[in-house]
Amino acid sequence: MKVGFIQCTIVSVVIAVIGYVVFSSLDMETNVPLAIAASLLISGIVSPYIASLFSSSTSGVEQEQATGGETATLYVGNLPYKANEDAVKEYFSGFVHVQSVRLMKDRRTGKRKGYGFIEVVTTDVDKAITELNDKIFLERTLKVRPAKEKGDEE
């Protein structure tokens, strides 16, 4: 579960303070250690649950189970310059299960370079290449192949 450290810390501190105030108000002299222990116990049990409410994302294991396994990255070339990530994801989703889309842009101008990378479930790689390579998308013929690692040379 991805929970922000700050959110979890804030929730723990708030619960600890509330617990300390409640328990220490009973009898200040004899119950201070009990108040501290009880407030820490309450914050340790309740705060992870409350902090999880802040998080809407799933863990890597849950994500892998939802997608059916490991992912692989495909290079997609000759993309239309006017296509955005959502349009590319929508088009490719008609053929394979798309995890993510990353379209490359020129750092200086911010304009798209006409290629990108699509992450798909590993079992869909061959299907994606077969079905999408040389397909027409927004009047451009796509080039789809497995992406190379950054250090790989031809």
Q: What is the pLDDT of residues 59-90, one digit of tens each?
A: 444 444 444 568 899 999 999 999 999 999 99
Residue 139, beta-bridge partner list: none
Give the CATH fold of the 62-146 domain.
Alpha-Beta Plaits (3.30.70)
pLDDT per residue over 22-65, tens digit each?
Answer: 666 665 556 666 666 666 666 666 556 555 555 544 444 444 44
Selection from 73, 70, 85, 59 nearest residue 117 by Cα: 73
Tell me where in the chain the CATH 3.30.70.330 domain(s) lie: 62-146
